[in-house]
Structures are given as structure tokens and as C-alpha cells.
């Protein structure tokens, strides 16, 4: 992990609308930060978070999330060249198929 800059100062506070941004800690809240930036952020913010935490940490966090929306999941899979079957949320979705009318 490269700690050259304050990651929380660079990310839009609007991504954390439900929290007090001043109480976030970059290390303890990395799962939340990575999840929100990959779901809501722009390309430059995604690259900044990946640079800050390192690709291995980011991929590991994303693989272990219970839910990622399908668009973000496909993006992450292609961006990091990781098969969809490696993601916990993808496996959970396959195990619990939705019924249709």
C-alpha cells in the first residue's frame, strides 16, 4: 500500500452520504471505500484507489463482497482480468436463482 496522499481528501464525500466522512479511516474502512468508489466513482478515482491500496488488496476486497451490481461486477472482472466465478457475489447469485413470472 502506498500512502503518498490522503485518499479520503481526494474522494467525493457524496459517496459516503450515510456516514460522517470525518470519522472514516483509510485503513479500517478500506472495504467500504473500495466498494463505493468502484460502484459510484469515475475512472480516475478507481485508478487512484487501486494505486493507493494496491491491486491485490482491491481485487481481494472486491472478490469477497456479498453484493456488487452486475455492471460493476463485469467491469471489475474485465479490468483486473479475473473470472466472474472468483467473486463471492457471483457465486451467491448463481446459488439463489430468481423466479420469473
90/34 Cα distance (integer angstroms): 18
Answer positive or negative: Cα dihedral of 25, 29, 30, 35.
negative
Nearby residues of 73 by Cβ (< 8 Å), 6 or more positions away: 84, 87, 89, 90
Q: How many residues does the chain have?
A: 101
pLDDT at 85: 87
20/76 Cα distance (integer angstroms): 27
Instruction: Delimit the domains of the chain by residue range.
Output: 7-95
pTM as predicted: 0.82
Q: What is the pLDDT of residues 39-77, one digit of tens each?
A: 999 999 999 999 999 999 999 999 999 999 899 999 999
Q: Residue 37 in contact with residue 45, Cβ under 8 Å?
A: yes
Amino acid at each position: 500500500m502506498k500512502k503518498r496522499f490522503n485518499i479520503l481528501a481526494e474522494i467525493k464525500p457524496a459517496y459516503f452520504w450515510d456516514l460522517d466522512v470525518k470519522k472514516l479511516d483509510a485503513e479500517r474502512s478500506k472495504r467500504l471505500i473500495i466498494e463505493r468508489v468502484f460502484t459510484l466513482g469515475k475512472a480516475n478515482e478507481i485508478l487512484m484507489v487501486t494505486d493507493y491500496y494496491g491491486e491485490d488488496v482491491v481485487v481481494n476486497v472486491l472478490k469477497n463482497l456479498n453484493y456488487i451490481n452486475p455492471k460493476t461486477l463485469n467491469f471489475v472482472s474485465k479490468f483486473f482480468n479475473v473470472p466472474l466465478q472468483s467473486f463471492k457475489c457471483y457465486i451467491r447469485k448463481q446459488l439463489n436463482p430468481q423466479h420469473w413470472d
